[in-house]
A and B are shown apart, each in its own frame.
Chain A
């Protein structure tokens, strides 16, 4: 029994600093936000008045919140889909054993390190219809100028492309790392079993990469849901709200209009939404590092 108690004491000693920091810096603000969300609290103006669930009711009836959730879902879906498909393919491309491929891979990872706010400005500049280089290329090829940031149907996909430019290399890197860790013998076994390239890909490679695939997809979903810099710089939620992702609407209410109660209610709802989604994703997909 002594051994067990000693083991638990060590475990507690090792975990507690992290838990302390997380609770103090992450959890306290969340609880504080819940407290704020139960008030009518306009920053700097008058004393906050308790309002119970008024903010949440407002949220429920607020069409713009509903639209923002939908826009966020659409953005996350297309961004993660594009980043995963391209990133996954690139992982195989960079896995080809050729001289110089390693350096190319190291350069390709560069966009991850760029400050998102500056990346937003660069893409705004490139997509712009009056001095943007992309529109110039298009007109060169004979077609009309395209409203990348002003066309109702195209705007969101321009943001998706900008996000993919920065984060596809991350997916590529994770999948490339996973590919390196696959044992060689499995492929020899597959050859001897008579599997052709296509069968080997679907029946051996993909299933073995599944844990990494699920983790990188989850990470990208969680992170892309938080994206705000690109909308801040490129479209401010335009045209007609088509790119108003939830963090941006939250920024407008909590940070510009300074309607703290309403913004806090939105933040809390957002957190609940994401937690539920991730819990579903984790349980249905069943990953986590212990059942590898």
Chain B
């Protein structure tokens, strides 16, 4: 139970047990990542040996192949594309989404509940179902292999989640706060920007992180819609899957490398992440 000051002090045993259990959980979470990095460092025969080798002579061959030698474009171009597309789509999704969420929360008109559900329903469809229609659509407007194509797609995929989460947050803001500002002569936009947005900062942070994770990791559509100019890290990764199997070392190296940026991005917003995910819990 949430311990109050009186109880926490006495129960050091409970604290020790809790810490122990937490470490086990973290261990389970990190073990696959440990496997990922060690596989990237192992030679071919070490990777596929039975029994699995725990102590091995690390080789950077996979990393060298993955990052130095590879292809006409070096990996930095792919990284740049990924960062640009993820950042732009996250900012757009959270920006447009917060406006829409505010409008839905503050001006409930007839059918606003249905509109909210309709927006959420756009999240149900798995991207794999609509690869070809989306490709043909973007091609008809000449957006194939452009950053804009992926930015628009990821924005629209994230919008539904952002609007849905932030709508709850805006609904929590006491109306009096905003009415006071209105009386003081703020316009509606100023109220939104100066009063409402700052109050939902945790929500913004949480939705930003989750949108960024989606955009950063999306694999299938990125492979189809882009060729070279706008290709992202997942497209770079698919270059390592041959028809007869996968280049394991390189695959793991790129996979491990791909986690780092998103992790750093999250560390900045981590404090807000917790308060940002309190959907609808009773205040």
Contact = CB atoms under 8 A, between A and B. Distances in A.
Given A7-B107, A97-B8, A118 B25 contact: no
B271 to A, nearest CB: 10
B52 interface: yes
Residue of A11, A105, A126 with most chain B CB atoms under a 10 A cut-off? A11
Given A90-B25, A271-B124, A115 B219 contact: yes
B137 A222 contact: no
A182 interface: yes
B26 A21 contact: no
B30 to A, nearest CB: 7
A14 B131 CA distance: 30
B155 interface: yes
Contact of A33 (B133, B159, B163, B233): B133
Given A8-B107, A126-B35, A212-B279, 18 more contacts: A15-B100, A17-B96, A96-B14, A118-B36, A118-B254, A118-B258, A126-B32, A132-B52, A165-B32, A178-B277, A183-B283, A208-B282, A222-B123, A225-B126, A226-B126, A247-B126, A254-B129, A255-B128
A219 B123 CA distance: 10
B21 interface: yes
A229 B32 CA distance: 16
Interface of A: 7-8, 10-12, 14-15, 17-19, 21-22, 24-30, 32-33, 36, 43, 90, 93-98, 100-101, 104-119, 121-123, 125-126, 130-133, 136, 165, 169, 173-174, 176-184, 187-188, 197, 200-201, 205, 208-209, 211-212, 215-216, 219, 222, 225-226, 228-229, 247, 250-251, 254-255, 260, 263-264, 266-267, 270-271, 274-275, 278-279, 282, 287-290, 292
Interface residues of B, number: 111
Interface of B: 1-4, 8, 14-15, 18-19, 21-23, 25-26, 28-30, 32-33, 35-36, 39, 47-52, 92, 96-97, 99-100, 102-109, 113, 115-117, 119-134, 136-137, 152-153, 155-157, 159-161, 163, 167-168, 171, 188-189, 192, 213, 216-217, 219-220, 233-234, 237, 246, 248, 251-252, 254-256, 258-259, 262-263, 266-267, 270, 273-283
Nearest to A118: B255
B36 A116 contact: no
A206 to B, nearest CB: 12
Contact of A267 (B29, B48, B129, B280): B129
Given A15-B99, A101-B18, A136-B52, A121 B248 contact: yes
A30 B277 contact: no
Contacts of B234: 115, 117
A250 B4 CA distance: 52
A85 to B, nearest CB: 14
Nearest to A190: B1
B214 to A, nearest CB: 10
Nearest to A260: B132
A104 to B, nearest CB: 4
Given A17-B99, A96-B18, A114 B33 contact: yes
Given A15-B100, A101-B22, A115-B258, A110 B275 contact: no
B129 A33 contact: yes
| For the complex of A and B, 3 pairs with smallest distance between CB atoms | A118-B255, A267-B129, A289-B168
Given A125-B39, A184-B2, A22 B29 contact: no
B109 A165 contact: no
Nearest to B136: A32
B278 A178 contact: yes
Contacts of A209: 281
B239 to A, nearest CB: 13
Contacts of B105: 289
19 contacts: A10-B107, A98-B19, A113-B262, A114-B217, A115-B259, A117-B219, A118-B237, A122-B252, A131-B47, A165-B28, A183-B282, A205-B1, A212-B280, A226-B124, A250-B129, A254-B132, A264-B129, A279-B117, A288-B116
Contacts of A180: 274-275, 278
A208 B252 CA distance: 43
Contacts of A33: 129-130, 133
A104 B22 contact: yes
A267 B237 CA distance: 27
Contacts of B106: 11
Given A21-B96, A28-B137, A11 B103 contact: yes
Contacts of B248: 121, 125
A156 B260 CA distance: 30
Contact of A121 (B117, B121, B252, B280): B252
Residue of B8, B217, B233, B266 with most chain A CB atoms under a 10 A cut-off? B217
Given A101-B19, A201-B1, A226-B126, A182 B281 contact: yes
Contact of B281 (A117, A122, A136, A178): A178
A115 B217 contact: yes
B8 A108 contact: no
Contact of B280 (A136, A182, A287): A287
A132 B96 CA distance: 46
B130 A29 contact: yes
Given A113-B259, A208-B281, A200 B1 contact: yes
